[in-house]
Amino acid sequence: MPVLNELEKIKKEGKDKIFIASSLEELESLRVSFLGKKGKITVILKSLGNLSSKEKPVVGKKTNEVRQFIEGELIKRKKKLESKVLERKLEEEVIDITLPGRCFPVGKRHLITQIIDEITDIFIGLGYKVAEGPEVETEYYNFDALNTPADHPARSLMDTLYTQKDGVLLRTHTSPVQVRVMEKTLPPVYIIAPGKAYRRDVPDPSHSPMFHQVEGLAVDKKITFGDLKGTLEVFAKKMFGTDRDVRLRPHFFPFTEPSVEVDVSCMMCGGKGCRVCSGVGWLEILGAGMVDPNVLSEVGYDPEEVSGFAFGMGVERIAMLKYGVNDIRLFYENDLRFLEQF
Protein backbone atom coordinates (compact mmCIF):
# COMPACT_ATOMS: atom_id res chain seq x y z
CA MET A 1 0.00 0.00 0.00
CA PRO A 2 1.64 3.25 -1.08
CA VAL A 3 0.10 5.15 1.81
CA LEU A 4 2.15 3.08 4.25
CA ASN A 5 5.34 4.04 2.42
CA GLU A 6 4.17 7.58 2.49
CA LEU A 7 3.69 7.39 6.30
CA GLU A 8 7.16 5.87 6.70
CA LYS A 9 8.59 8.81 4.71
CA ILE A 10 6.66 11.29 6.82
CA LYS A 11 8.01 9.65 9.97
CA LYS A 12 11.61 9.91 8.77
CA GLU A 13 11.17 13.44 7.49
CA GLY A 14 9.62 14.44 10.80
CA LYS A 15 12.41 12.87 12.81
CA ASP A 16 15.12 14.64 10.79
CA LYS A 17 13.48 18.04 10.64
CA ILE A 18 12.55 18.06 14.32
CA PHE A 19 16.06 17.02 15.25
CA ILE A 20 17.61 20.06 13.59
CA ALA A 21 14.92 22.58 14.54
CA SER A 22 16.84 25.40 16.21
CA SER A 23 14.10 27.48 17.76
CA LEU A 24 10.75 27.05 19.44
CA GLU A 25 9.13 29.02 16.59
CA GLU A 26 10.60 26.68 14.01
CA LEU A 27 9.42 23.70 16.03
CA GLU A 28 5.92 25.13 16.18
CA SER A 29 5.72 25.55 12.41
CA LEU A 30 6.91 21.96 12.03
CA ARG A 31 4.15 20.82 14.37
CA VAL A 32 1.63 22.67 12.23
CA SER A 33 3.02 21.16 9.03
CA PHE A 34 2.57 17.61 10.39
CA LEU A 35 -0.26 17.75 12.90
CA GLY A 36 -2.06 21.03 12.13
CA LYS A 37 -5.46 21.23 10.41
CA LYS A 38 -3.85 20.85 7.00
CA GLY A 39 -0.84 18.92 8.25
CA LYS A 40 0.48 15.88 6.44
CA ILE A 41 -0.74 13.38 9.05
CA THR A 42 -4.08 15.08 9.50
CA VAL A 43 -4.68 14.90 5.75
CA ILE A 44 -4.07 11.15 5.80
CA LEU A 45 -6.31 10.68 8.83
CA LYS A 46 -9.09 12.53 7.05
CA SER A 47 -8.73 10.34 3.97
CA LEU A 48 -9.13 7.08 5.94
CA GLY A 49 -12.83 7.12 5.11
CA ASN A 50 -12.02 6.51 1.43
CA LEU A 51 -10.19 3.28 2.17
CA SER A 52 -11.59 -0.22 2.07
CA SER A 53 -12.56 -1.86 5.33
CA LYS A 54 -9.49 -4.08 5.05
CA GLU A 55 -7.03 -1.25 4.55
CA LYS A 56 -8.58 1.11 7.08
CA PRO A 57 -7.39 -0.56 10.35
CA VAL A 58 -3.89 -1.13 9.00
CA VAL A 59 -3.43 2.39 7.72
CA GLY A 60 -5.24 3.82 10.76
CA LYS A 61 -2.93 2.02 13.11
CA LYS A 62 0.18 3.10 11.23
CA THR A 63 -1.00 6.69 11.05
CA ASN A 64 -1.61 6.81 14.79
CA GLU A 65 1.79 5.31 15.42
CA VAL A 66 3.48 7.92 13.23
CA ARG A 67 1.45 10.68 14.85
CA GLN A 68 2.47 9.55 18.33
CA PHE A 69 6.07 9.26 17.20
CA ILE A 70 6.05 12.83 15.80
CA GLU A 71 4.36 14.13 18.92
CA GLY A 72 6.98 12.43 21.05
CA GLU A 73 9.82 13.85 18.99
CA LEU A 74 8.28 17.32 19.19
CA ILE A 75 8.06 17.12 22.99
CA LYS A 76 11.65 15.91 23.33
CA ARG A 77 12.98 18.66 21.08
CA LYS A 78 10.82 21.25 22.80
CA LYS A 79 12.30 20.37 26.18
CA LYS A 80 15.82 20.60 24.74
CA LEU A 81 15.17 23.96 23.13
CA GLU A 82 13.49 25.33 26.23
CA SER A 83 16.41 24.41 28.40
CA LYS A 84 18.72 26.06 25.87
CA VAL A 85 16.65 29.23 26.00
CA LEU A 86 16.80 29.17 29.79
CA GLU A 87 20.55 28.61 29.75
CA ARG A 88 21.07 31.58 27.44
CA LYS A 89 18.83 33.74 29.58
CA LEU A 90 20.74 32.83 32.71
CA GLU A 91 24.00 33.58 30.97
CA GLU A 92 22.76 36.99 29.86
CA GLU A 93 21.37 37.89 33.23
CA VAL A 94 24.40 36.87 35.17
CA ILE A 95 25.22 39.43 37.88
CA ASP A 96 28.78 40.65 38.03
CA ILE A 97 29.25 40.93 41.76
CA THR A 98 32.72 42.40 41.24
CA LEU A 99 31.22 45.62 39.81
CA PRO A 100 31.40 48.48 42.30
CA GLY A 101 28.01 49.54 43.70
CA ARG A 102 26.17 52.59 42.49
CA CYS A 103 26.80 55.61 44.70
CA PHE A 104 23.71 57.44 45.79
CA PRO A 105 24.36 61.12 46.46
CA VAL A 106 24.14 61.73 50.17
CA GLY A 107 22.60 65.03 51.15
CA LYS A 108 23.98 67.18 53.89
CA ARG A 109 23.11 70.21 55.90
CA HIS A 110 23.13 73.54 54.07
CA LEU A 111 26.10 75.75 54.98
CA ILE A 112 23.76 78.24 56.64
CA THR A 113 22.32 75.47 58.81
CA GLN A 114 25.83 74.29 59.64
CA ILE A 115 26.84 77.79 60.76
CA ILE A 116 23.68 78.21 62.83
CA ASP A 117 24.38 74.87 64.50
CA GLU A 118 27.98 75.88 65.14
CA ILE A 119 26.96 79.22 66.71
CA THR A 120 24.26 77.46 68.72
CA ASP A 121 26.73 74.88 70.03
CA ILE A 122 29.11 77.60 71.22
CA PHE A 123 26.39 79.38 73.20
CA ILE A 124 24.86 76.18 74.55
CA GLY A 125 28.35 75.52 75.89
CA LEU A 126 28.11 78.87 77.71
CA GLY A 127 24.78 77.92 79.28
CA TYR A 128 22.37 79.54 76.80
CA LYS A 129 19.07 78.06 75.67
CA VAL A 130 17.62 78.24 72.16
CA ALA A 131 14.41 80.23 71.64
CA GLU A 132 12.31 80.71 68.54
CA GLY A 133 9.56 83.06 67.48
CA PRO A 134 7.29 83.84 64.53
CA GLU A 135 8.62 85.26 61.26
CA VAL A 136 5.37 87.10 60.68
CA GLU A 137 5.49 89.58 63.55
CA THR A 138 3.58 92.50 64.90
CA GLU A 139 4.91 96.03 64.89
CA TYR A 140 4.76 95.86 68.64
CA TYR A 141 7.33 93.07 69.02
CA ASN A 142 9.49 94.10 66.10
CA PHE A 143 9.64 97.82 67.01
CA ASP A 144 7.58 99.29 69.87
CA ALA A 145 8.64 96.87 72.58
CA LEU A 146 12.23 97.34 71.41
CA ASN A 147 12.18 101.03 72.24
CA THR A 148 11.46 101.97 68.65
CA PRO A 149 8.13 103.85 68.63
CA ALA A 150 6.39 104.70 65.36
CA ASP A 151 7.95 108.16 65.12
CA HIS A 152 11.42 106.90 65.91
CA PRO A 153 13.88 107.71 63.10
CA ALA A 154 15.41 104.24 63.45
CA ARG A 155 12.26 102.68 61.98
CA SER A 156 13.04 104.10 58.59
CA LEU A 157 16.53 102.62 58.77
CA MET A 158 14.98 99.19 58.56
CA ASP A 159 13.48 98.56 55.15
CA THR A 160 10.48 96.75 56.46
CA LEU A 161 8.24 94.41 54.49
CA TYR A 162 4.69 95.04 55.70
CA THR A 163 1.77 92.70 55.18
CA GLN A 164 -1.63 93.96 54.09
CA LYS A 165 -2.84 93.58 57.64
CA ASP A 166 -2.29 96.69 59.70
CA GLY A 167 0.49 96.36 62.25
CA VAL A 168 1.67 93.00 60.89
CA LEU A 169 5.03 92.68 59.17
CA LEU A 170 7.81 90.25 58.38
CA ARG A 171 10.27 90.58 61.24
CA THR A 172 13.28 92.67 60.23
CA HIS A 173 15.46 91.00 62.85
CA THR A 174 15.20 88.18 65.39
CA SER A 175 15.23 90.68 68.27
CA PRO A 176 11.44 90.38 68.83
CA VAL A 177 12.14 86.91 70.19
CA GLN A 178 13.97 88.60 73.12
CA VAL A 179 10.79 90.40 74.04
CA ARG A 180 8.59 87.33 73.67
CA VAL A 181 10.89 85.29 75.92
CA MET A 182 11.25 88.01 78.59
CA GLU A 183 7.47 88.51 78.70
CA LYS A 184 7.09 84.87 79.72
CA THR A 185 10.19 84.28 81.85
CA LEU A 186 11.57 85.76 85.00
CA PRO A 187 15.28 86.61 84.99
CA PRO A 188 17.86 85.17 84.76
CA VAL A 189 17.50 84.78 80.99
CA TYR A 190 20.24 83.41 78.76
CA ILE A 191 18.96 82.70 75.25
CA ILE A 192 19.93 82.76 71.63
CA ALA A 193 17.34 83.14 68.91
CA PRO A 194 18.33 81.82 65.49
CA GLY A 195 16.00 82.33 62.54
CA LYS A 196 15.05 84.12 59.37
CA ALA A 197 14.72 87.89 59.02
CA TYR A 198 13.31 89.91 56.13
CA ARG A 199 14.08 93.32 54.71
CA ARG A 200 12.99 95.22 51.63
CA ASP A 201 16.35 94.90 49.87
CA VAL A 202 17.11 94.27 46.23
CA PRO A 203 19.31 91.17 45.97
CA ASP A 204 22.96 91.96 45.23
CA PRO A 205 26.25 90.36 46.32
CA SER A 206 25.74 91.51 49.92
CA HIS A 207 21.95 91.90 50.24
CA SER A 208 19.06 89.49 50.26
CA PRO A 209 15.42 90.18 51.19
CA MET A 210 15.56 87.09 53.40
CA PHE A 211 18.58 86.20 55.51
CA HIS A 212 19.37 84.56 58.84
CA GLN A 213 20.28 86.02 62.18
CA VAL A 214 21.27 84.73 65.56
CA GLU A 215 20.26 87.01 68.37
CA GLY A 216 21.64 86.63 71.88
CA LEU A 217 20.27 87.92 75.16
CA ALA A 218 21.53 87.70 78.73
CA VAL A 219 19.59 89.30 81.58
CA ASP A 220 20.64 88.75 85.17
CA LYS A 221 21.68 90.60 88.28
CA LYS A 222 24.79 92.72 87.77
CA ILE A 223 25.39 91.96 84.09
CA THR A 224 28.05 94.37 82.89
CA PHE A 225 29.51 95.58 79.65
CA GLY A 226 32.59 93.50 80.56
CA ASP A 227 30.42 90.36 80.45
CA LEU A 228 29.30 91.30 76.95
CA LYS A 229 32.85 91.86 75.77
CA GLY A 230 34.11 88.64 77.37
CA THR A 231 31.25 86.61 75.89
CA LEU A 232 31.82 87.97 72.39
CA GLU A 233 35.55 87.35 72.64
CA VAL A 234 34.96 83.72 73.55
CA PHE A 235 32.51 83.44 70.67
CA ALA A 236 34.85 85.07 68.12
CA LYS A 237 37.78 82.87 69.07
CA LYS A 238 35.71 79.68 68.95
CA MET A 239 34.15 80.66 65.64
CA PHE A 240 37.10 82.15 63.80
CA GLY A 241 40.20 80.85 65.59
CA THR A 242 42.04 81.44 68.85
CA ASP A 243 44.35 84.11 67.44
CA ARG A 244 41.46 86.44 66.57
CA ASP A 245 41.14 89.78 68.37
CA VAL A 246 37.86 91.56 68.98
CA ARG A 247 37.26 95.29 69.05
CA LEU A 248 34.15 97.26 69.86
CA ARG A 249 33.18 100.51 68.14
CA PRO A 250 30.48 102.85 69.43
CA HIS A 251 27.26 102.54 67.46
CA PHE A 252 23.53 103.10 67.83
CA PHE A 253 20.62 100.71 68.23
CA PRO A 254 17.33 101.88 69.75
CA PHE A 255 17.09 98.85 72.05
CA THR A 256 20.61 98.94 73.50
CA GLU A 257 22.48 101.65 75.37
CA PRO A 258 25.39 101.87 74.98
CA SER A 259 25.52 100.12 71.61
CA VAL A 260 28.51 98.80 69.75
CA GLU A 261 29.50 97.25 66.51
CA VAL A 262 31.86 94.36 66.95
CA ASP A 263 34.81 93.69 64.69
CA VAL A 264 37.05 90.66 64.57
CA SER A 265 40.62 90.87 63.31
CA CYS A 266 40.73 89.78 59.67
CA MET A 267 41.16 86.02 59.34
CA MET A 268 42.71 86.38 55.89
CA CYS A 269 45.59 88.73 56.71
CA GLY A 270 45.66 88.47 60.51
CA GLY A 271 45.04 92.20 60.80
CA LYS A 272 47.70 93.54 58.47
CA GLY A 273 45.15 94.70 55.91
CA CYS A 274 44.10 92.93 52.71
CA ARG A 275 41.38 92.92 50.05
CA VAL A 276 38.90 91.03 52.20
CA CYS A 277 39.04 93.62 55.04
CA SER A 278 39.49 96.53 52.59
CA GLY A 279 42.90 97.21 54.03
CA VAL A 280 41.71 97.97 57.57
CA GLY A 281 42.56 94.64 59.22
CA TRP A 282 39.11 94.31 60.86
CA LEU A 283 35.82 92.77 59.81
CA GLU A 284 32.47 93.72 61.30
CA ILE A 285 30.65 90.63 62.57
CA LEU A 286 27.79 91.81 64.75
CA GLY A 287 25.86 94.49 66.58
CA ALA A 288 25.47 94.49 70.35
CA GLY A 289 24.92 96.55 73.46
CA MET A 290 23.49 96.75 76.96
CA VAL A 291 19.74 96.22 76.90
CA ASP A 292 18.04 99.61 77.15
CA PRO A 293 16.22 100.02 80.51
CA ASN A 294 13.07 100.92 78.53
CA VAL A 295 13.06 97.45 76.98
CA LEU A 296 13.41 95.82 80.40
CA SER A 297 10.57 97.92 81.87
CA GLU A 298 8.33 97.16 78.89
CA VAL A 299 8.38 93.44 79.73
CA GLY A 300 7.91 94.10 83.44
CA TYR A 301 11.51 93.70 84.58
CA ASP A 302 12.98 96.16 87.08
CA PRO A 303 16.00 97.87 85.46
CA GLU A 304 17.26 98.70 88.98
CA GLU A 305 17.30 94.98 89.81
CA VAL A 306 18.58 93.41 86.62
CA SER A 307 20.61 94.41 83.62
CA GLY A 308 21.45 92.65 80.40
CA PHE A 309 23.26 92.61 77.13
CA ALA A 310 22.10 91.62 73.67
CA PHE A 311 23.81 90.97 70.40
CA GLY A 312 22.72 90.07 66.90
CA MET A 313 24.65 88.69 63.98
CA GLY A 314 23.96 87.86 60.36
CA VAL A 315 24.57 84.17 59.70
CA GLU A 316 25.25 84.66 55.98
CA ARG A 317 27.84 87.30 56.81
CA ILE A 318 29.59 84.97 59.26
CA ALA A 319 29.54 82.17 56.65
CA MET A 320 30.88 84.49 53.96
CA LEU A 321 33.74 85.67 56.18
CA LYS A 322 34.59 82.20 57.39
CA TYR A 323 34.65 80.58 53.97
CA GLY A 324 35.50 83.51 51.69
CA VAL A 325 32.14 83.40 49.89
CA ASN A 326 31.77 86.62 47.92
CA ASP A 327 28.10 86.62 46.96
CA ILE A 328 25.23 86.09 49.41
CA ARG A 329 22.95 84.90 46.58
CA LEU A 330 24.99 81.69 46.29
CA PHE A 331 23.33 80.49 49.49
CA TYR A 332 19.88 80.47 47.94
CA GLU A 333 20.54 79.25 44.42
CA ASN A 334 20.89 75.64 45.54
CA ASP A 335 23.65 74.96 43.04
CA LEU A 336 25.06 71.65 44.24
CA ARG A 337 28.51 72.56 42.91
CA PHE A 338 28.54 75.34 45.49
CA LEU A 339 26.76 73.54 48.34
CA GLU A 340 28.84 70.37 48.08
CA GLN A 341 31.98 72.31 48.99
CA PHE A 342 30.93 72.65 52.61
Site residues, ligand PHE (CB under 6 A): 173, 175, 215, 253, 256, 287-289, 310-312
- The nearer residue to ligand PHE, 14 or 314, going by C-beta atoms, is 314
- The nearer residue to ligand PHE, 175 or 307, going by C-beta atoms, is 175
Strand positions, DSSP E, the chain: 129-130, 136-138, 161-162, 168-170, 189-198, 210-220, 246-253, 256-265, 282-291, 307-314
- The nearer residue to ligand PHE, 39 or 312, going by C-beta atoms, is 312
Q: How far is the CB of 246 from ligand PHE (least distance, A)?
A: 15
Q: How far is the CB of 162 from ligand PHE (least distance, A)?
A: 17
DSSP assignment string, 152-180: -THHHHS--EE-SSTTEEE-SSSTHHHHH
Q: How far is the CB of 287 from ligand PHE (least distance, A)?
A: 3
CA distance 238 to 233: 9
- Comparing CA positions, the residue from 179, 191, 184, 188 lying closest to residue 217 is 191
Burial class (CB in 10 A: 0-12, 13-18, 19+), 160: middle
Q: How far is the CB of 334 from ligand PHE (least distance, A)?
A: 25
Using CB atoms, what's the residue nearest to ligand PHE?
Answer: 312
- The nearer residue to ligand PHE, 63 or 256, going by C-beta atoms, is 256
3-state helix, strand, coil in the chain (%, to 5): 45, 20, 35
Q: How far is the CB of 308 from ligand PHE (least distance, A)?
A: 10
- The nearer residue to ligand PHE, 132 or 243, going by C-beta atoms, is 132
